[in-house]
Amino acid sequence: MSTLVINDLHVSIDGKEILKGVDLTINSKEIHALMGPNGNGKSTLLAAIMGHPKYTVTRGEVTLDGQNVLEMDVDQRSKAGLFLGMQYPQEVTGVTNSDFLKAALNARREKPIGLFAFIKEMEGAIAKLEMKSDLAHRYVNEGFSGGEKKRNEILQMMLLKPRLAMLDEIDSGLDVDAMKIVAGAILDEYEKRELGLVIVSHYDRFYQLIKPTHSHILIDGKIVMSGDDTLAKKIDEEGYDWLQTQLGVVIVPEEEVKAPVRVSVSLGTCAVNERAKNE
């Protein structure tokens, strides 16, 4: 049983405050839907938890099973069991997927995984995600379609076996069939390993495939409402405008706070560092 606790988290970028006091607790075997208009802090929250250097935590705490996450570097957060599936996965030229995945996996183990055991596990995950068989020999995300990049993020999650996975619009770029495949793989990991999940998506159809146990709406850097899966359905049907009337919140225009994250911090640092040590 693992628990991630976020307490009064304030985060800024270039001196501008994006998160303004977020409180959230995620346990194993829970699925948290994180919703809100673009540019109101969802990606910032996930990236800050994972340690992206672009963001500065100015106040608050983040703990994983009592350990202070904010004192860890990115490698340590990954080894502790956190994973971030990125909205914009990074290309890594010159590093094959198999080398990348094996290095990242070994960075989290006391004893390196055997070659045949690694190949068996990787090929099994690739087959489950119905990815192309040559994926292992291609450079990480280079020339991948949007959907292939998203499947590759889930492949990484399946091999790394985190305690808590944060998935940032992992469904974008997926067609209907691919979405079902990816959702099935995520649910399988959730059920097998009592995984804790935080999922950012704008689409109720994805939340229908992966039914949230908890739903939260983040507006202007604060969680303004929480509920169950019916809240996700209400947002899909009615949007966010009703919140302005009901709660008096102000929806911040996207251009005022938008700061897209395009650097993978969930895995890449561990993998590249480990590979460099071995060369």
Residue that the structure tokens 């994973």 belong to: 83
Q: Taking Cα atoms as reference points, which of 45, 86, 234, 90 lies closest to residue 169?
A: 86
Q: Which of 138-147, 160-169, 187-196, 215-224 has the lowest mean pLDDT?
A: 138-147
pLDDT at 117 over 90: yes
pLDDT at 257 over 50: no
Identify the helix (H) or strand (E) that includes residue 50.
Answer: helix 42-50
Q: Are 123 and 101 in contact (CB under 8 A)?
A: no
User: Would you list the domain boundaries of the chain?
Assistant: 3-178+210-259
Length of the chain: 279
Average pLDDT rounded to a whole number, residues 48-62? 96
Q: Amino acid identity of 260? A: P
Predicted local distance difference test score (pLDDT) of residue 269: 46
User: What integer best gives the mean pLDDT of the chain?
Assistant: 89
Predicted local distance difference test score (pLDDT) of residue 159: 95
pLDDT at 255 over 60: no
Predicted local distance difference test score (pLDDT) of residue 265: 41
CA angle 128/211/108 to nearest 5° reads 50
pLDDT tens digits, 199-212? 999 988 999 999 99
Q: Are 251 and 67 in contact (CB under 8 A)?
A: no
Q: Amino acid identity of 161? A: K
Average pLDDT rounded to a whole number, residues 243-266? 62
Q: Are 81 and 164 in contact (CB under 8 A)?
A: yes
> How far is C-alpha 139 from the geometric centre of its chain's CA atoms?
22
What share of the chain in percent tops pLDDT 70? 90
Between 79 and 278, the higher pLDDT residue: 79
Q: Taking Cα atoms as reference points, which of 104, 22, 14, 98 lies closest to residue 60?
A: 22
Predicted local distance difference test score (pLDDT) of residue 244: 85
Fold of 3-178+210-259: Rossmann fold (3.40.50)
Predicted local distance difference test score (pLDDT) of residue 279: 44
What b/e readout covers 156-195, taking b as 16+ CB neighbours within 10 angstroms?
bbbbbbbbbbbbbbbbbbbeeebbebbbebbbebbeeeeb
In 14-137, the DSSP E strands lie at 16-27, 31-35, 56-64, 67-68, 82-85, 92-96
